Amino acid sequence: MITDSPTVTAVAPAPDGAPIPGPLLTPQPDSSGGGGSVPDLPTLSFQDDVTSIFASWTPGEWIGYSSLVLLSLALTVIALTTLWWMLHAWRSDGHLSRTAFAAEAKPAHLSFSLLVPGRHEEEVMGETLDVLARQDHPDFEIIAIVGHDDPGTEAVCRAAAARHPGLIKVIVDDSVPKNKPKALNLALTVARGQVIGVFDAEDEVHPHLLSLVDTKFKDTGADVVQGGVQLMNFRSSWWSLRNVLEYYFWFRSRLHFQAEAKFIPLGGNTVFARREWLDWSDGWDDQCLAEDCELGVRLSSAGANIVVAYSPEVATREETPGTLKSLYKQRTRWNQGFLQVLRKGEWRKLPTFRQRMFARYLLSMPFLQAATGLLIPLSLVLILFVKVPTPIALLSFLPIAPTLVTIAVEAAGLGEFGRVYGIKPRVRDYVRLVLGTFPYQVFLALASVRSVIRQLRGINSWEKTEHSGAHRDAAEERRQPELVLGGVR
Amino acid sequence: MSRVLERPTTAPPVLHGPEPIPAPRRHRGGSRAGRWFSVHARSISWLAPVLLIAGLVQAIGMAGSPQRIDDEGTYTAQAWSIAKLGEIAHYTYWYDHPPLGWLQLALYGQATFAFDRYDVAVIAMREAMLVAMVVSAALLWLLARKVGLSRAAASAAALLFAVSPLAVQFHRTVYLDNVALPWLLAAFLLAMTKRNQLAGFAGAALAFGIAVLSKETFLLALPVLAWVMWRSSNKATRRYTLSVAGSVLVLVGGTYLLLAGVKGEIFPGPDRVSLTSGIAFQLANRESSGSAFDPDSLLSATLGQWLQLDPVILVGGAVAALAGLFARQLRPFAVLYLGFLAVIFRPGGYTPVPFVIGMLPFAALLIAWGAETAIRAARRRGVRTRAVGIAGIAIALTGAIVAAPVWATQLRGLWLADLDRPLRDAQSWVSENVSRGDRVVVDDAMWVDLVESGFPRDNVIWYYKVDTDSDVQDMLPNGWQDFDYVVTTGSMRTFPDNFPQVAQALDNSRVVAEFGTGTQAVEIRKVYPEGIEAADEAEGFAGERRQAFGGELASNPRLTIDPESEALLTGGGVNESLTLALGQLLSTHELTIAGFPAIAGEDGVVRRQVLITSVDGEAVTPGSGAGSDLAGWFAALGGSYDADETAIGTDGLTARYSID
């Protein structure tokens, strides 16, 4: 820019010993004229500033800041993937229409055996069996499994069997200790249907469900069909609202994503599998705390065609656990079950690397949640009490972004849930939804921490839930595999 | 279906084990890319030349026209501060605009080493503008296709958008609007996604958020964007797609709030900047641009500038927009364009000069659509339809006829004129002649370059900050009297009253160098802290002394000199120190002086450079004994006789003295 000036070119270069500028800030190459022509170049004032951005950090700050950044990024990735999968069904209208049952059932072509294990369920099981018996499918049988030490439930079941002769069988499980997979495996020995379905003792099942499931098998050539399950009582408490929404998004959307990814942790009920596959799998794994998930993983790994279908009107209806404590224990068991499945390693047989990575990620989720749970207080302390550089402070807020989008989506979901099931949510429910977000995350993190601890310490047992008389309390157990150690109870 | 019915119940899968899953088919990268190209070959063969032409039209002469303005310098300096200093602005960031625009510029500068590749920082950022324009043109092409234009019409839209002289002028200028525009166009494109609508809408919201955080005026497009989204949203998934889009947009906007929150600058406080006062400034304190019907108003000047560059595109856009209101696909864009026009003409409002940047793509889109629709209608059967079509074609042709000569003249100027030369020369002058310890008040257009040429940051003061930034005022305890030089440009001379300190400095200064003429003129003025009257008086005495010394020198028999230079000497037109040094030299040597060459920009002021061609009869050339002796003699001089610089060329030795 100064080439036309006659006087500057021949002038001395910068004096010896002048600081050599670093690559980041080379102001101007000497050849370009400008700065190089000036003798006694003063120290550029911005040199110090540049180096000071990083250099002034102490080792402690380095560690603190980088762990904060890593934590933020990890949390963000987890929240984003979870959000994206949660929204799977609504990615496009094609996605949505594929997730439903057929509108009209076709003529039946399969026979069904419906297994209903029950333990201390005398209050609800009779009605459950009556409702199941009203299925409009022409070819099915119901097998109720009760414990030899549970005469009350057995009596209720036998009464139901008498009301529906030829339809309901009652078999007695005398194994010790008892659990749900054992009961199911026992029933499998007497079941005659081409398709085996599982229900829990308190399930409210739509009478048209079997016909639709039959059609789904026919239309898709499925080996396994997972139907929808829906918790209903979102007004009971702040956490029941969250629990209900979890189910809604899981069955309405997320499971379809799992099906597409060909890796499905199956649910505990409203699941239908072809007999051949259950024979292949040797029934359910009675050592696992999440036998339903475990079966799903094995079937997925073996390449079974698992189809998920959800239509709100025929979803099986349930209630949330009666207390936060039982939800906590339930969640601990699920998490621990996931960790068991992770360790068992059946998922390594999944055909593609992508599926294996996905399985590993999904099954490790309790670990990840636990880790983030432990780091939440750390990052809070850092943000509140340590003066953090602005970019890092901004970055630490990053995980909040997907979380807030998730809340918006959940609010939309609550609205839709209300419309679909005819219970209009009130403003109060939305407020609960928003305010409950953080406590529920903490709650989930705590359950994860606990499950990891239990898993690491090798506590593999069913933990006793107070069962004395409180029926609502018992509801929670019914949903779950019961690995009861005789001594504990 | 039949396969399912013939389900092999007799041969359960157990026997075969699970069915083997075929290994995922691997596409070689080449073949996949090849397929993509073959599918899109026609589009590429249209789009690629369009982008090439668009890029060339903008790139040729981009460093010369238009002259750099203050705003460009400001955004450049802010980007440079992020890239080189790790600070969000070169002065205290005061929430005048969200910083995302220049953050992107900084990223561009760092990723491409643009700041290092150019002598003039603003031109480096003009390169970023070029990239942004090409991206915008491509997106506009896609958008045009999306709303149903043919490839030819889409190309016409992109070309109009890129080569209208109005567009070239504003696309070259480093405005945040140019950074925001690709994001806005991307937002509209994504808002019309059909497949993967959820991701598309989330992307649209993100892109729009970035657009608004790059240039806040783009928020005006929000209602139309929401409308486009609603129209294209699938009913069954709308609840979720729109929730996600809405929350993403709020979040992106929230980051700005968060930035202020983290810095503790949301609300105003004593002696600190804040988000609220920044917004209040933009919304309330901006002076009205006046009425379009008042020929002296700012708005009239702005509109005049726009129309002078291209009288057709904006008017044509308006005509096409009125027609576009009746076409379903185009309606939102017609409404958007007319809405922009309404914003400009709203009474009492402030219209920023670059506002037109947001309008150009939609004007181009509407015009191209209008022309294509007219041509199609003219080919149809119905008498009425044909009449309408022919009328449309007539309007388009009229526009083209009006535009052609203006475009030719203006584009020629934009390609060939080096309007920026005065600024470059002035910068060179400052970096060569002003001591790094002096305080220089400048237009931001040269701020980065001067700092990079070695001035301490505190000594290069953006004139705007002198009267508005308390940190800067703290450095200037004596106000304008602490300045040594002021470099004035067109934008600085426009509003002298807004900056009292700068105005006072100018009143008490004298031009020492001047480059260019008219609005492009750049003056370097030396400031006299003692006041212009005292300076004038001192100059009177100094002039008398120069005449006296010059006269003596001219009469020295040892000096050989041409008459013209002699006249300069006797007339007091040569620097006093230089005259005295020459006198000293003549006491021991004979000299031949070829003249007192004026330094670039210093015509009409006292000469302070001498060209000596021989000493004692020996020619002064590079490598000659006389040359090195003479250079050594100048170097040995001390005090105020010390030459600023000496240099030996083929025609002799040049010694330059600093301004008295």
Return per-residue pLDDT of chain A as tens, 489 residues.
333 333 322 223 333 333 333 222 222 333 333 333 333 333 334 334 444 455 577 887 788 788 888 888 888 898 899 899 999 888 887 777 777 888 888 999 999 999 999 988 888 899 999 999 999 999 999 999 999 989 999 999 999 999 998 899 999 998 888 888 999 999 999 999 999 999 999 899 999 999 999 999 999 999 999 999 999 999 989 999 999 999 999 998 888 888 888 888 888 889 999 999 999 999 999 888 888 889 999 998 898 999 999 988 899 999 888 899 999 998 998 899 899 999 888 899 888 898 899 999 988 888 887 877 777 677 677 767 777 777 787 788 888 888 899 999 999 999 999 998 888 899 999 999 999 988 998 899 899 989 989 988 887 765 533 333 333 333 344 343 333 333 222
Q: Tell whether B198 is within 8 A of chain A (Cβ).
A: yes
Compare CB distances from B262 to A96, A221, A390 and report the shortest one's residue.
Answer: A390
Compare CB distances from B239 to A274, A304, A416 and report the shortest one's residue.
Answer: A416
CB A413 within 8 A of CB B243: no
Q: How far is CA A391 from the centre of its chain?
A: 32
Q: Tell whether A2 is within 8 A of chain B (Cβ).
A: yes
Q: SS3 of A246, please?
A: helix
Q: Which residue reads 């979901």 in tokens? A: A413
* Final residue before a domain boundary, out of B473, B500, B529: B529
B231 in a structural domain: no
CB B595 within 8 A of CB B611: yes
Compare CB distances from A10 to B84, B449, B647 and report the shortest one's residue.
Answer: B647
B592 in a structural domain: yes
Burial of A332 (0-12, 13-18, 19+ CB in 10 A): buried
How many angstroms away from the CA of A359 is the closest CA of chain B? 17
How many angstroms away from the CA of B250 is the closest CA of chain A? 9
Name residues whose C-beta falls within 8 Å of residue B225's C-beta, 6 or more positions apart in sequence.
B187, B188, B191, B204, B208
Asked if the Cβ–Cβ distance from B454 to A44 is below 8 Å, we say yes
What pLDDT score was predicted for residue A143? 96
Q: Tell whether A5 is within 8 A of chain B (Cβ).
A: yes
* Final residue before a domain boundary, out of B492, B509, B529: B529
Asked if the Cβ–Cβ distance from A11 to B239 is below 8 Å, we say no
- Render pLDDT for B343-369 as a digit per residue (tens, 0 to 9): 998 888 888 889 999 999 999 999 999
Q: Tell whether A260 is within 8 A of chain B (Cβ).
A: no
Q: Tell whether B21 is within 8 A of chain A (Cβ).
A: yes
Asked if the Cβ–Cβ distance from B656 to A351 is below 8 Å, we say no
Burial of A428 (0-12, 13-18, 19+ CB in 10 A): exposed
**ipTM value for the complex:** 0.77
Compare CB distances from A405 to B85, B244, B656 and report the shortest one's residue.
Answer: B244
B138 in a structural domain: no
Listing from the earlier edge strand, what are the strands of the sheet with B522-527?
Answer: B460-462, B440-442, B485-488, B522-527, B509-515
Both B551 and B517 in a single domain?
A: no
Both B564 and B643 in a single domain?
A: yes
What pLDDT score was predicted for residue A55? 57
For residue B458, give the chain A residue with the closest CA: A45
Both B652 and B538 in a single domain?
A: yes
Asked if the Cβ–Cβ distance from B654 to A6 is below 8 Å, we say yes
Q: How far is the C-alpha of A405 from the C-alpha of A35, rounded, in Å?
A: 51
Q: Tell whether A351 is within 8 A of chain B (Cβ).
A: yes
Chain A partners within 8 Å of B645 (Cβ): 7-8, 11
B390 in a structural domain: no
Q: Which of B366, B222, B207 is nearest to B230 (CA)?
A: B222
Tally: H helices and E strands in chain B? 30, 11
How many angstroms away from the CA of A211 is the closest CA of chain B? 16
How many angstroms away from the CA of B199 is the closest CA of chain A? 7
For residue B198, give the chain A residue with the closest CA: A91
What's the one-letter identity of residue A113?
S
Fill in the DSSP letter of residue B86: S
Both B510 and B622 in a single domain?
A: no
Both B538 and B524 in a single domain?
A: no
Q: Tell whether A415 is within 8 A of chain B (Cβ).
A: yes
* Final residue before a domain boundary, out of B529, B555, B578: B529
Q: How far is the C-alpha of A107 from the C-alpha of B133, rounded, in Å?
A: 62
Chain A partners within 8 Å of B18 (Cβ): 280, 301-304
Pairing of strands A140-147, B440-442: unpaired
What pLDDT score was predicted for residue A64? 78
B96 in a structural domain: no
What pLDDT score was predicted for residue A87? 92
DSSP one-letter string for B45-75: HHHHHHHHHHHHHHHTTTTTSSPP-HHHHHH
For residue B452, give the chain A residue with the closest CA: A27
The residues of chain B scoring below 70 in pLDDT are 1-30, 660
How many angstroms away from the CA of A41 is the closest CA of chain B? 6
- Token pair listed for B164: 């209208």
- CB contacts < 8 A, A to B, total 183
Compare CB distances from B4 to A27, A42, A218 and report the shortest one's residue.
Answer: A218
Both B542 and B489 in a single domain?
A: no
- Around A90, how many Cα atoms within 13 Å sit in the side-chain half-sphere? 29
Sign of CA dihedral A230, A235, A239, A241: positive
For residue B518, the enclosing domain spans 421-529
Q: How far is the C-alpha of B492 from the C-alpha of B67, rounded, in Å?
A: 13
B597 in a structural domain: yes
Q: How far is the C-alpha of B619 from the C-alpha of B604, rounded, in Å?
A: 30
Asked if the Cβ–Cβ distance from B600 to A5 is below 8 Å, we say yes
Surface of A (207-226) touching B: CB under 8 A: 218-221, 223
Both B434 and B522 in a single domain?
A: yes
Backbone phi and psi for residue A462, each to the nearest 5 degrees, phi listed first = -65, 130
For residue B85, give the chain A residue with the closest CA: A50
What's the one-letter identity of residue B373?
T
Both B554 and B492 in a single domain?
A: no
Q: How far is the C-alpha of B494 from the C-alpha of B497, rounded, in Å?
A: 9
H or E element, residue B460: strand B460-462
Chain B partners within 8 Å of A194 (Cβ): 9
Both B584 and B638 in a single domain?
A: yes
Both B540 and B651 in a single domain?
A: yes
Overall number of domains in chain B: 2
What's the one-letter identity of residue B151?
R
**Structural domains of chain A ordered from first start:** 71-100+222-272+285-477 (no CATH), 109-207 (3.90.550.10)
Both B473 and B507 in a single domain?
A: yes
What pLDDT score was predicted for residue A463? 53
- Render pLDDT for B286-338 as a digit per residue (tens, 0 to 9): 777 888 788 888 889 889 999 999 989 999 999 999 999 999 999 999 999 99
B484 in a structural domain: yes
Compare CB distances from B13 to A34, A109, A276 and report the shortest one's residue.
Answer: A276
What pLDDT score was predicted for residue A487? 29
Pairing of strands A195-198, A112-117: parallel
B581 in a structural domain: yes
CB A316 within 8 A of CB A199: yes
Compare CB distances from A90 to B18, B241, B645 and report the shortest one's residue.
Answer: B241
Burial of A95 (0-12, 13-18, 19+ CB in 10 A): buried
What pLDDT score was predicted for residue A61? 79
Both B552 and B650 in a single domain?
A: yes
Compare CB distances from B237 to A33, A93, A218 and report the shortest one's residue.
Answer: A93
Surface of A (264-293) touching B: CB under 8 A: 274-277, 279-280
Asked if the Cβ–Cβ distance from B251 to A41 is below 8 Å, we say no
For residue A406, give the chain B residue with the closest CA: B244
